Structure 1
Amino acid sequence: MRLMVTGCRGQVGWELTRSLAVLGEVIACDRNEADLTHPASLKAVVDRIRPDVIVNAAAYTMVDKAEDEEALAVTINAEAVRALAQASRDVGALFVHYSTEYVFDGMKSGAYVETDAPNPINAYGRSKLTGEQAVADAAGDWLVFRTSWVYAARGKNFLRTMLRLASERETLRVVADQVGAPTSARMIAELTAHAIRQAMGERASGRFESGLFHLTASGSTTWRGFASRIVDAARALLPPDAVATRAIEAIATSEYPTPARRQANSVLDNGKFERRFGLRRAPWDESMQRVLEEIVEQGGTRTF
């Protein structure tokens, strides 16, 4: 099996290059090989590689900056996705794409299911929703996974930011009125590999159905709850002088204004994913512990 991964230097893309290796030959493409800012160039890349599976882990993810760069976000998150999905269809490949909880407005009282009506409240969410629709419109074989609050052992993300701040400040102030499921890129990649294995078996036997699925860690917390668990775990793993934080104050979203509006509720129901693929999703804090241990093992705690 030949698997093409776009965005291989990103958080999810990097993890995919590890997790997908058990399935076959992985062709890892960064921006130099597959530039999503130029959608018209992507068909030639796919035609040259002729993969059995394309996993698109490339995306414009700067939520706040997208308010001023919506056209660029749409180019990368929608127009390029359309080009990849169509090219995937034309070579008979399975197309796997990632979307986000930002397609919802966050007003629902419970967890969102796939059939809930999207209503993005910022430019980033609008661009990702348009990308979802582009994949479906291409009418090939596809899987779209919506995830949330993604972090990893590398790159810029909430976990690494909290580790850096915890080494510098005695008190942190973190938003406590937004709820979601912190989801590690490592878990996303591992579950994606299992899902692809099953999907390719279904395709071979004529049983495959394209679909949209929610894919996050199990459980939920607030940003403050996430920060507290990060600091507690770091304190247990690191030397005493590595963690300066002694208090984490809860603040409201209104006290931390951002250019892009944020949802109060980002929790996604994963029942459809579990029924289709029969895979266990680790609790968010269990996944976080694994990632933090990986960072410590790599000696990366001084480089945030």
Structure 2
Amino acid sequence: MRILLTGVTGQLGRELQRILPEIAEVIGYSRQEMDLAQPEQIQRAIARVQLDLILNAGAYTAVDRAETELDLVRAINGIAPQILAEEAQKREVALFHISTDYVFDGRKNTPYTEEDETNPLSAYGASKWVGEEGIRQATANHLILRTAWVYGAGETGNFVKTMLRLGAEREEIRVVSDQIGSPTWTGDLARAIAQLLTHTPFPTGTYHYTNSGVASWYDFAVAIFEEASNLNFPLKVKNVIPITTADYPTPARRPAYSVLSTQKITALLSTQPPHWREGLRQMLRSM
């Protein structure tokens, strides 16, 4: 199997490049080689290669900056996925696309299923929803995988890396405690993607995957410092103080509760996603 992988320099893309060669030949494209904001460049890049599947791990992920870069976030997250789907349909191959919990508004208090109504609160979430809908219109041979709160060892801007940096600099850190989700390590996510790619028959439609368990950002931060301390990371932090979303306003609104149900993918793969705390532990050990 030959897979065209977009977004190879992102935190998930890097992990996929490490894992997927075990099951397939991977043709990786960075933004320099395939700019998802340029439709003609997408078409030319795909036309250059023979492929069996397109895996779109590329995205615009700067959630707050997206509120002022509406054209760019819509081009990358909204328009590009449909173009990829159209190219996949022409070649009679599947499109595997990564989406987000931010397509939901967070007003539920039970995990969101794949059938729940979407209602994104932010420009980022809205752009990802537009991308999903474009794929559904362009080809039936697609798999949309929504995930949440993703972090990996290779990316400096994710929550874990930010907490480790701040924890080494400060004795006190304030973290939002009223947003609830499921932290998801790229290592576990990439392995789940590999399982889906080798599943027979290839699953189509929409699925959710995160690590199991739930946490607030505050809970997550406390766990990061506990696990990092056990591994002798250099830390100065002594107090983690819970605050509300109102205490820490951001340009983009975020769902207060964005836990995704993984029952559908668990039934398909016959395996439960690892708990988020174990994923965190493994990621820190890898550093």
Structure 1 residue aligned with 2:132: 132
CA distance in 1, matches of 2:270, 2:20: 18
**For 1:58-109, what per-residue CA distance to the aligned partner results, in whole angstroms no more than 9, with x for missing partners?**
0000100111111111100011111111111111222110110100000011
| Aligned counterpart in structure 2 of residue 251 of structure 1, from 243, 249, 270 | 243
Q: Which runs of 5+ in 1 are unaligned?
A: 203-207, 296-304
CA distance in 2, matches of 1:114, 1:24: 28
Which letter does structure 2 place at the counterpart of 1:183?
T
| Aligned counterpart in structure 2 of residue 285 of structure 1, from 274, 277, 283 | 277
Please tell me the root mean square deviation across aligned C-alpha atoms, in Å.
1.1
Structure 2 residue aligned with 1:173: 174
**What's the CA shift for 1:209?**
5.0
**TM-score using structure 2 length:** 0.97
CA distance in 2, matches of 1:39, 1:12: 23
**For 1:39-74, what per-residue CA distance to the aligned partner results, in whole angstroms no more than 9, with x for missing partners?**
222122212212111110100001001111111111
Structure 2 residue aligned with 1:234: 228
Structure 2 residue aligned with 1:272: 264
**What's the CA shift for 1:238?**
1.4
Native 8 Å contact 1:88 1:140 kept in 2: no
**For 1:213-266, what per-residue CA distance to the aligned partner results, in whole angstroms no more than 9, with x for missing partners?**
011000000000000000011111015xx1111110000000000000111101
Native 8 Å contact 2:107 2:257 kept in 1: yes
CA distance in 2, matches of 1:57, 1:73: 15
Native 8 Å contact 1:191 1:279 kept in 2: no
CA distance in 1, matches of 2:204, 2:242: 42
Native 8 Å contact 1:89 1:138 kept in 2: yes
**What's the CA shift for 1:277?**
2.4
Which letter does structure 1 place at the counterpart of 2:137?
D
Runs of 4 or more consecutive aligned structure 1 residues displaced over 6 Å after TM superposition: none
CA distance in 1, matches of 2:185, 2:70: 26
CA distance in 1, matches of 2:127, 2:195: 28
SS at match of 1:106: coil
CA distance in 2, matches of 1:46, 1:265: 38
SS at match of 1:291: helix
**What's the CA shift for 1:166?**
0.6
**What's the CA shift for 1:141?**
1.2
Structure 2 residue aligned with 1:195: 196
CA distance in 2, matches of 1:39, 1:279: 38
**TM-score using structure 1 length:** 0.92
Report 1:18-33 matches (<5 A): 18-33=18-33
**For 1:11-58, what per-residue CA distance to the aligned partner results, in whole angstroms no more than 9, with x for missing partners?**
111111111111121111101221101022212221221211111010
SS at match of 1:62: coil
SS at match of 1:49: coil
Which letter does structure 2 place at the counterpart of 1:77?
N
**For 1:239-298, what per-residue CA distance to the aligned partner results, in whole angstroms no more than 9, with x for missing partners?**
5xx111111000000000000011110100011111122233110000010001111xxx
Structure 2 residue aligned with 1:36: 36
CA distance in 2, matches of 1:229, 1:290: 13
CA distance in 1, matches of 2:177, 2:140: 41
* Comparing 19-28 and 156-165, the one that deviates more: 19-28
Structure 1 residue aligned with 2:81: 81
Pair 1:162-2:163 in alignment: yes
CA distance in 1, matches of 2:210, 2:129: 18
* Comparing 115-124 and 43-52, the one that deviates more: 43-52
Q: Which runs of 5+ in 2 are unaligned?
A: none
SS at match of 1:105: coil
CA distance in 2, matches of 1:215, 1:71: 29
Structure 1 residue aligned with 2:206: 212
* Comparing 248-257 and 49-58, the one that deviates more: 49-58
Structure 2 residue aligned with 1:222: 216
SS at match of 2:143: strand
Structure 2 residue aligned with 1:10: 10
What is the aligned residue count? 286
Native 8 Å contact 1:184 1:291 kept in 2: yes
CA distance in 1, matches of 2:49, 2:268: 29
Structure 1 residue aligned with 2:57: 57
Percent identity of equivalent pairs? 41
